[in-house]
Amino acid sequence: MDMEASCTPTHWQALTHHRQQWQKQLRQLFHDDSERAGRYSLQAGPLFLDYSKSHLDDTTLQLLLNLCEHQQLDSAITRLLHGAEVNNTEQRPAWHTALRYRANSVIPEPSVHAEVKATQAKMRAFVEQLHNQQWNGFDGDTITDVVNIGIGGSDLGPRMVCRALSDYHRPGLKVHFVANIDGAEIHQVLQGLNPATTLFIVASKSFTTLETLENSTTARNWILTAGCPENQLRQHFVAISTNIAKATSFGIDPDNIFPMWDWVGGRYSLWSAIGLPIALAIGWQGFEELLNGAATMDEHFASAPAADNMPVILALITFWYSQFWQARSQAVLPYCHQLQRFPDFLQQLDMESLGKGVDRHGQPLAYHTGVTIWGTEESNGQHSFHQLLHQGTQMVPVDFIASLMPNHPHTHQHRELLACCLSQSQALLDGKSLQVATQELLDGGKTADEAASLAPHKVIPGNRPSNTLLMERLTPEALGALIALYEHKVYVLSVLLDINAFDQWGVELGKQLGTRIDQALQCGTLPEEWDGSTRQLAEKILSARD
């Protein structure tokens, strides 16, 4: 594929020619350069990145950096961080970084900073009320459980962070999450909870999201059925929204509504009031440490030259593999049980941002944009999909993530976990040759014929790329830096691809059609213009209810 709509032929042709001439195996790169690991590593705040197991050399990096210069990346970073209208289709900034400015930062827009600080003060007061048992339910008992109702960015980020930082949870208050319109989820969550001591956070930027409104209505009816008077509902519901009017009409007390802003995208919103369940789970100090970690990465992103800029380097590696090595997916593998939901979070962050078919000017793209992000907590994946990584016919670049120290006392198991992490990246790099596989079989007692027959099945090609990200310990600060790292990586990719990372028009069509189909299912009359498949499936649904 060509990329001439965005890059000059010179830049594209230079990278294409470089790729065509590339003959180096990863093992050879390390053999030829004893300092390679150190030269292709970076430290940014609490994060250490080793990207030396990638198919690149100084020439590759320079060609990619030339592309950054051509795409005016430095200017694009400044525009993002200073609140320029980088979301051109919706004519607004994407200013999530303004939510985590430090006290000593240079504030580009003081009025915005004042709004953010006012909202954070309201959040802090609310969090401290609940932690100090000063917020009571309708029967006078203190709140013991908080249920966050939201979906997409109003769920994935807070849910991931609360799970990741479970070692830092404050006692006395449990936080739960409901997202799916499938009533099974809210039914399961509400079982075992006491309506009189349960508080709901309705998190919806627009306050029009079907799943969130349906689940909130179910929660409201659950509370009322338990004996809560209408005038006491305010003790059990708060909202986070830009649409104050709709939240109020739903029945949320205006004093219980935490504002958002249209310049904060949903998948970037955990730093805003959408992060309220995080603050309730880990305390206000912990939430501030999360913000502080992200601010550290923001400052690195703003100040480090591209060649030493961790988000830029990660983006360039993904760009190199997706555009020139035909890599269509990327695995993100946290060797950390607490980070089990991090790949899910990254799926929205990356794929909703980069899954675009036209450039910033609305012109169809002649090159690939986003890749499929997938993964799971490790070492579980080693016993499921790693087979494809090692011996499959497609190359899948991998990001390994691990902490050097555990937040639990079982240090020998953590050592074994880290050994698993390193062994997988080393196996992807080295592989196993036919000669080695044959000799192992002979040493194991196989005959020459048996070894010759079986050895090809045991060959692992190696020469497969990976990055490894390390932190000393999974803390709120380290997690904040990790999230911000991937946020900025996605933005850099959008600049290189000349697309808008901050809209998601592809999501809207399904919502529109879903409303129409639901109306048809309610009335039992199916439109004639529907395609045969949709009509057949709808008829199955209707017949099942007869």
DSSP state letters, 504-523: -THHHHHHHHHHHHHHHHHH
Contact 161, 194 (CB under 8 A): no
Annotation marks residue 131 as catalytic: no
CA distance 366 to 359: 10
Annotation marks residue 205 as catalytic: no
Catalytic residue among 352, 378, 477, 487: 352
Q: In what order do the strands lie in the sheet with 372-374?
A: 41-44, 47-50, 466-473, 398-405, 329-335, 372-374
CA distance 339 to 336: 5
Contact 5, 363 (CB under 8 A): yes
Task: Compute CA distances 260 → 116, 231, 248, whole Å.
Answer: 9, 26, 15
> DSSP secondary-structure letter at 275?
G
With 0-12 / 13-18 / 19 or more C-beta atoms within 10 angstroms meaning exposed / middle / buried, residue 193 is middle
Contact 267, 157 (CB under 8 A): yes
Residue keyed to tokens 């050592």? 415
Annotation marks residue 24 as catalytic: no
CA distance 45 to 478: 8
Half-sphere exposure of 223 (CA within 13 A, CB side): 24
With 0-12 / 13-18 / 19 or more C-beta atoms within 10 angstroms meaning exposed / middle / buried, residue 159 is buried
CA distance 233 to 444: 72
- Closest among 208, 161, 203 to 179, alpha carbons compared: 203
- Closest among 147, 144, 190, 197 to 171, alpha carbons compared: 144
Within 8 A by CB and 6+ apart from 70, the residues are 7, 8, 11
Within 8 A by CB and 6+ apart from 422, the residues are none
Catalytic residue among 35, 230, 361, 383: 383
As annotated, the active-site residues are: 352, 383, 511
